[in-house]
A and B are shown apart, each in its own frame.
Chain A
Amino acid sequence: MTPLLSVEDLRVYFPSGQRGETVKAVDGVTFSVGAGETFGIIGESGSGKSTLARAMVGLIPPTDGRIFHAGQDIATMSGAEFARHRRSFQIVFQDPNAALDPRMSIGQTVREPLDIVNADSRADRDRRVLRLLDHVGLNPELALRYPHELSGGQKQRANIARALALEPKLIVCDEVVAALDVSIQADILNLFARLQAELGLAYVFITHDLGVVGHVADRIAVMYLGKLVEMGSADQILHHPLHPYTKALLSSEPLPLPKAMRTGTRIVLEGEIPSPVSPPSGCRFRTRCWMTQDKCAEKEPAWLKYGADRWNACHFTDFNRDGEASDRAPSAAMPPAH
């Protein structure tokens, strides 16, 4: 079956600085997302998640590699064809204000994509806006309000309504709940789940919150300095991680548990993510990896398949451990949900 979205050896470079340097924000990434699926991407800031997100929906041209929307290479589409196509692949950003024009009412903002397509009458479009607002849990009265009159959660709902206007098949969500309080975050996550059940939407869900990704994702990819280091089912990644970076990331998440239950030892990584202008030789994670050996500086670890849909890039991953309980699975320490 053709995946809804696939990305093959994608690279996105930006020129930077005066000395003709290149920022390798995304540097060889391959994965695909099926219809109706939620694909999570996690990793530290600066790892290239937002750049990847924008490239996926055609907002930034790739430097190299290919992006397929429903099996079709978007680079081969004509302008008009792509414009039509883009409607099915939407994006929502972290900052609820980013896509809202302060001079446009919420109703106008949500209607704008419909106005551009201009397929039906103005009255039909207005009716559709009210339905969309209702759909995302906004009182239709808010159509007449302006962004500054809305709370962060309400603005994010308006952004989602706008993204839904053209009936997409996939929405890329880049840290969409990061700026929201937990109870509002819970509301928005419930909304995403309901829309997925009702409309069969697929999501690419980018977040640095492991609790959030564990709740929404079917599969998860872990990104570090422009590359994926591990990919697998949400359960595999969160409960049986293979890659040293995934393990460190999971163990640094502070858990809201009483002292006696916080038993896992923590791997505190030293230093911060290096610059993507000149990534370390060999394995990019080696400057912070507590397992690093000489080989790691000399040779880049290959992106290898471990089992049905499980990938990992580390020279020292023990093949046999796949599927077994990892020696470090801090999130498994959370009490089982009822």
Chain B
Amino acid sequence: MTATQPLLDVSGLTISFRQGGSDVAVISDLSFAIQPGESVGMVGESGCGKTVTGLSLLSLLPPETAKVSGRIGFDGVDLTKLSPRDMQKIRGRRIAMIFQEPMSALDPVFTIGQQISETIRAHFPVNAREARERAIDALAAVGIPLPARRYDEYPHQLSGGMRQRAMIAIALSCEPRLLVADEPTTALDVTVQAQILDLLLALTAKSGTALLFITHDLGVVAEACSRVLTMYAGQLVEDAMVDDVLTRPLHPYTSGLLRSLPRLSAAKSVLPAIPGRVPTNAEWQAGCRFVPRCSHALIACDAPQLLRGEEPHRVRCGRYSELSLPGVLP
């Protein structure tokens, strides 16, 4: 679609965990790209591999048990080939990540300000005073009132919304090229979620930071992203522009996710739930992994399915061109 070189170019990413003597696959042959400044959503039910994918981009998976193969191209460099030391220079500086529960990412024994200063000093040759000034600016930029005073407060002294702002301040303090946001608003009230979304979008637009936005909320995707990746059982099953997928999804799973939203059905009517549940890794088949839950499955679906279709809409379903699936519009 665009001639620019993608910022992130993941291809054939495969991840497994060593468990009780055997390897358990969690991500199979994942390929996608993100352009500079682009905002891409990633959706799918619990356990489909969204967080693992996000963590792998920053080499944050436990090295003792996680096995990562394939290519993670970032600015032309394959991150899977980097030494831990070289990766450290990129993490926090070029690629940053924020999480659903800020308490797990913030260190309880250091003040918010110290944590931002430390990130800045790890990547820029500035002295303590300059780092402090930049950290206070970063707190102000995320809308934290009285930033000079908040600098000296500890994470537990802040409300959930303020902690999320502080984590964003840390993540964006070095103006990374890519921000991986893993359900950053899921634990927040809709009113505070609206504030945080506005903030994230404004700040990433200003610095030209690309966003990989992991969420289970299709409304958040519609609001915050231009493209969306749908994950199912460790595979990418659909990659499309948000407006296209909302109006005309090509994968039965994506369509099922959209149609099960209570908003789209008449009040009190029976909701079109997707029958069954996500298969465990042990139940993954060589063919389409959605077969047991798909109302369109045929014998041919038991053969491996490739991601196909025309850019920018790719789908892992052999029947996509014959099916006409409903999206959010009746």
A, B from the same assembly: yes
Residues of A at the B interface (CB closer than 8 Å) are 44-45, 151-153, 181-187, 189-190, 193, 208-212, 214-216, 234, 248-249, 252-260, 262, 266, 268-270, 272-273, 331, 334-338
A168 to chain B, nearest CB (A): 21
- Complex Cα distance A269/B161, Å? 13
Q: Which residues of B contact A248 (CB under 8 A)?
A: 191
* A–B Cβ pairs within 8 angstroms, 23 of them: A44-B190, A181-B216, A182-B216, A182-B260, A182-B261, A183-B257, A186-B274, A189-B262, A193-B270, A211-B262, A253-B190, A254-B193, A254-B217, A254-B222, A256-B221, A256-B258, A256-B263, A258-B328, A268-B198, A269-B195, A270-B195, A334-B264, A337-B330
Confirm or deny: B223 has a beta carbon within 8 angstroms of a beta carbon on chain A.
Answer: yes
Confirm or deny: B68 has a beta carbon within 8 angstroms of a beta carbon on chain A.
Answer: no
Q: Are A44 and B269 in contact (CB under 8 A)?
A: no
Q: Are A215 and B330 in contact (CB under 8 A)?
A: no
Q: Are A234 and B246 in contact (CB under 8 A)?
A: no
Contacting residue for B263 out of A153, A211, A273, CB 8 A: A211
Residues of B at the A interface (CB closer than 8 Å) are 45-46, 159, 161-162, 189-195, 197-198, 216-224, 242-243, 246-247, 256-258, 260-274, 277, 328-330
- Complex Cα distance A111/B161, Å? 41
- Complex Cα distance A266/B262, Å? 22
- Complex Cα distance A331/B266, Å? 13
The 5 closest A-B CB pairs, nearest first, are: A254-B219, A186-B273, A215-B262, A337-B266, A186-B271
Q: Which residues of B contact A259 (CB under 8 A)?
A: 222, 242-243
Q: Are A190 and B270 in contact (CB under 8 A)?
A: yes
- Complex Cα distance A253/B262, Å? 14
B294 to chain A, nearest CB (A): 13
Q: Are A181 and B268 in contact (CB under 8 A)?
A: no
- Complex Cα distance A270/B162, Å? 12
Interface secondary structure of B, over-half rule: helix
Q: Are B243 and A258 in contact (CB under 8 A)?
A: yes
Contacting residue for A256 out of B222, B256, B272, B277, CB 8 A: B222
Q: Which residues of A contact B262 (CB under 8 A)?
A: 185-186, 189, 209, 211-212, 214-216
- Complex Cα distance A269/B143, Å? 13
Q: Which residue of A lies closest to B276 (CB)?
A: A183
Q: Are A216 and B193 in contact (CB under 8 A)?
A: no
Q: Which residues of A contact B218 (CB under 8 A)?
A: 182, 256
- Complex Cα distance A182/B224, Å? 19
Q: Which residues of B contact A331 (CB under 8 A)?
A: 263
Q: Are B195 and A215 in contact (CB under 8 A)?
A: no
